[in-house]
Amino acid sequence: MRLVTRIALALALSAPLVGLGGHGARATAATFDGSFTNPASSQTDTAEAVFSVSGQELTLVLTNTSTFGQYQNPDVLSGLFFNISGSPALTGVSATASGLVDPATAGPQDVSHAWAFEQSASGYTGGAATLQQTRYGVAAAGFSSLSPSFGKSGFGSGKADNTQGLDYSIVGPDFRSIKGNGAGTLVEDSVTFLFSGLPQSFSLSDISDVVFAYGTAPDYTVAAASTTGTSTSSAAVPEPASLALLLPGLITLGLFRRRAAA
């Protein structure tokens, strides 16, 4: 038997077995970064939104990456608006804070009751040119000035019961204090959101028009034009179990070689 034929047969025998080992490990994420000089505080506010997907679930990690310590109301990251191609109907499953500033409670905290998640078929619009026709939004502040009004539906239980003011909005890791309106309990660093209901055809490249919302008015938002998006993915690699299951094919190839030699 020719060597090429023997190799083809060995691979054919091993391929189904490798499939039994499950899919290779794949890391996939879409990262959007926002940065702008806040006219109200003259400070540079920065933020990051990282989307990742597993099956039909979408995860969003929203982080305040600002490095200053003294905040004003418009410096606090209070929401994110974005589009998804095809406008699939998503369900908000959970919202988990990395930690709280006040009270200083250690470890992740469930903040599903304090963040709203809504989607609009027509898209949310506002007086500011920085927020136009984005169909999905998560926010700790209720943006009643948007059209349609935003901030009534929450995660899990359905109704967001704490979307007034800056409660549970996000500050950066160097936060020390805030001037102006009392903010109540704040989140330090990030909130992780989980959504279900992605279509099978979904791709992270379907996400666009990402807009970061600050303070309690949508006027303080980062224009989509100054938000950069990058997608990174690593190629699938065989899992250890899959490599082990590849051995029968290699053994078969060895037997053919021994027969040929005999």
**How many whole angstroms separate alpha carbon 21 and alpha carbon 242?**
5
Q: Are 142 and 124 in contact (CB under 8 A)?
A: no
Domains of the chain by residue range: 28-261
What are the helix (H) ranges across 24-144?
Answer: none
Calculate the CA 211 to chain-centre distance.
Answer: 13
pLDDT above 70 coverage of the chain, percent: 63
pLDDT of residue 257: 47
Mean pLDDT confidence for 228-247? 39
pLDDT at 106 over 80: no
Q: What is the mean pLDDT of the chain?
A: 74
pLDDT of residue 64: 96
pLDDT at 6 over 50: no
Which DSSP category does 210 fall into? Answer: E
pLDDT of residue 130: 60
Q: Residue 183: which region, alpha, beta or left (left: phi > 0; alpha: psi -120 to 50)?
A: alpha
Mean pLDDT confidence for 162-188? 82
Predicted confidence (pLDDT) per residue in 117-154, tens digit: 989 988 888 765 566 678 999 998 877 778 887 777 77
